Amino acid sequence: MFWLQRDNVYALPIVHYNMEMAAEVCVAYHHLKPDCVAVELAETMQLQLLHAASRLPDLSIVTAYTQTLEPLYYLCEPCDPAFEALRCGLENQKDSYCIDLDVDQYPKFREAIPDPYAIRRIGLKEYYEIYCRIRAENKHPIIALDKDREMHMARKLKEL
């Protein structure tokens, strides 16, 4: 098992819509038995996303709209680690939160990541270390929006 820890806050590195990561979340949840769950999903959509997580393993699509009324779709499925974390929290009657900043136009870019299937062989810790090396080698562009999101989530975690 692997997670990042700072005081009483535990974080699992994830890749969205990935079964291997969802399985890691489930194992970590049952080992850590957290007081609450917080995930990197839009805070403004919390009620709809929690409802979708409560319906798992049934799939849901939650629709939101940008400020310019463009539709945004959230696919809520059991293979997404964020929804698996919410499902675990809800099933165990723990408070569960979506803490990410609501962002309309997040820039699209493809990030080089190792094949998540490798987690079954090498474990999440080594997978994360490889990801960090690849990211450092590729000079991943940290955009101002990422900093805003990270600060927003850090404040929310501190509140929780």
Which pLDDT does position 105 carry in this prediction?
77
79 contacts: CB under 8 Å, gap ≥ 6: 17, 18, 19, 22
Distance CA 23, CA 117 (A): 11
pLDDT grade, residue 108 (50/70/90)?
confident
Structural tokens at position 145: 């929006």
Which pLDDT does position 104 carry in this prediction?
79
pLDDT grade, residue 85 (50/70/90)?
very high
Instruction: State the amino acid at position 109 in one-letter form.
Output: F
Long-range contacts, 56-59 (Cβ 8 Å, 24+): 56/83, 56/84, 56/87
**Tens-digit pLDDT profile for residues 56-75:** 999 999 998 888 898 988 89
Distance CA 91, CA 88 (A): 5
**Tens-digit pLDDT profile for residues 13-71:** 999 999 999 999 999 999 999 999 999 999 999 999 999 999 999 999 999 888 889 89
pLDDT grade, residue 109 (50/70/90)?
confident
Q: Could you identify the residue written with the tokens 């408070």?
A: 95
Is residue 140's pLDDT more than 90? no
Judged by DSSP in three states, 154 sits in helix
Is residue 87's pLDDT more than 90? yes
Which pLDDT does position 72 carry in this prediction?
86
Distance CA 131, CA 18 (A): 15
Which pLDDT does position 29 carry in this prediction?
97
What's the mean pLDDT when you consider all of the chain? 92
Is residue 148's pLDDT more than 90? yes
Least confident of 5-9, 34-38, 84-88, 95-99: 5-9
